């Protein structure tokens, strides 16, 4: 990202208002943050700015509901930094708090998506946000694939920089585009229609691709197998060359649920009233043959319906990858959650804060936010 200025190189920030867009979209239950992974990754940039005496205006989004609040995140950050919680995005209260902000302090604004203009890349909203600061820093890799106001609307209006976490994401993911061999790409989750171009691209650079999660159901269906009530994509793979490609691996056993309860069976034994919800132990055994000798493992997305308790396949795979000795890069909320729940974070090469952003970067080699930073820094 040589065309984009790095905030880590900038030391002339004392007294300057810095608008910092961070990855603050974390899970919250009963008003408390239950996983701090993204907050921890946001800290190096925050610390650098405060050490330089900047006056930080911290912005971000949380959840899908515009009514969700960043207050629990502010509470976590306030344990380590001088954080003033605005509770709003704009208005007289925010203006006053901004003027009262001292060097080395943070003013944290409310969930950007509580203003409907954030997701519309609204130029008026961009101008309102930009008017609060002298400098803009983008450290929110997880949202960098979205053409939202805070990601692409602000760089043309202010001297713009990339944050420490964002920069690290870019460099680490760039390495995976030219893997050391033997290499294994593990792709889970759903919506094969959005992931097919990525699979086709990586067949050229990776030795094997394992297709898991709901994506595997599309392969079973295309092979003429019964998938019952399982989640499938809007794409028909029955005439696809992917079915015959020897580099592609799919599950050899699955965990299903239906009138017969929960059972582990071969893919050709699924009944019409059952739903496939995870990969089984034989699939994990098969995968161990590929993880054991791998030099590079890239993994995005769970092997099952992780959020509803079908985590066996994902957890078992996390242990395999951790033990493999390969350089491993992983992303996707459920994948990272599984690794963290096992306390295995230290045994992975890199864990991305992005899910969709990671996949889009791997496919295209850039993201809309990166393009905006490149275009904006010269103005």
Q: Residue 125 and residue 16: Cα distance in Å, rounded?
A: 21
Tokens of 233: 């994509």
* Catalytic residue flag (residue 91): no
- Which of 304, 312, 332, 333 is catalytic? The answer is 333
Q: Residue 35 and residue 311: Cα distance in Å, rounded?
A: 17
* Catalytic residue flag (residue 60): no
Whether 77 and 39 have beta carbons less than 8 Å apart is answered as yes
* Catalytic residue flag (residue 113): no
- Which of 16, 21, 38, 117 is catalytic? The answer is 38
* Nearest to 15, CA basis, from 55, 65, 50: 55
Q: 330 by DSSP, 3-state: which?
A: strand
For the chain, what is the largest distance between any 2 Cα atoms, rounded to a whole number of angstroms? Answer: 67
* Catalytic residue flag (residue 191): yes
- Which of 98, 191, 295, 374 is catalytic? The answer is 191
Q: Residue 207 and residue 203: Cα distance in Å, rounded?
A: 7
* Nearest to 111, CA basis, from 69, 160, 63: 69
Q: Tell the residue number behind the tokens 């491993």, with chain if given.
A: 328
Buried b (16+ CB within 10 A) or exposed e, 51-65: ebbbbbbbbbbbeee
Which are the catalytic amino acids?
Answer: 38, 191, 333, 356
């Amino acid at each position: 990202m040589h065309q984009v200025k790095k905030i880590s190189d900038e030391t002339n920030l004392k007294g300057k208002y810095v608008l910092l867009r961070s990855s603050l979209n974390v899970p919250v239950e009963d008003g408390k943050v239950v996983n701090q992974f993204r907050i921890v990754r946001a800290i190096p940039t925050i610390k650098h700015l405060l050490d330089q005496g900047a006056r930080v205006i911290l912005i971000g989004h949380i959840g899908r509901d515009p009514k969700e609040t960043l207050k629990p995140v502010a509470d976590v950050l306030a344990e380590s930094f001088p954080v003033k919680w605005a509770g709003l995005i704009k208005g007289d209260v925010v203006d006053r708090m901004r003027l009262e902000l001292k060097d080395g302090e943070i003013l944290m604004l409310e969930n950007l998506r509580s203003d409907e203009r954030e997701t519309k890349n609204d130029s008026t909203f961009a101008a309102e946000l930009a008017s609060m600061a002298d400098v803009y820093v983008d450290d929110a890799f997880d949202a960098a694939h979205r053409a939202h106001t805070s990601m692409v609307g602000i760089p043309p209006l202010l001297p713009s920089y990339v944050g420490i976490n964002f920069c690290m994401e870019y460099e680490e993911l760039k390495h995976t585009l030219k893997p050391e061999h033997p290499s294994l790409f593990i792709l889970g989750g759903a919506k094969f229609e959005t992931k097919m171009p990525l699979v086709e691209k990586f067949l050229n650079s990776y030795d094997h691709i394992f297709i898991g999660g709901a994506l595997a159901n599309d392969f079973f269906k295309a092979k003429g197998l019964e998938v019952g009530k399982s989640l499938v994509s809007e794409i028909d793979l029955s005439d696809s060359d992917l079915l015959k490609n020897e580099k592609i691996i799919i599950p050899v056993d699955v965990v299903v649920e239906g009138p017969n309860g929960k059972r582990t069976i071969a893919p050709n034994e699924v009944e019409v009233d059952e739903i496939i919800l995870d990969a089984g132990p034989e699939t994990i055994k098969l995968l161990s043959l590929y993880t054991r000798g791998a030099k590079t493992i890239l993994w995005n997305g769970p092997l099952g319906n992780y959020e509803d308790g079908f985590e066996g396949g994902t957890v078992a795979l996390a242990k395999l990858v951790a033990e493999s000795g390969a350089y491993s890069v992983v992303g996707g909320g459920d994948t990272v959650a599984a690794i963290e729940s096992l306390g295995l974070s230290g045994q992975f090469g890199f864990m991305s804060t992005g899910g969709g952003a990671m996949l889009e970067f791997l496919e295209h080699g850039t993201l809309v936010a990166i393009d905006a930073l490149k275009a904006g820094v010269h103005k």
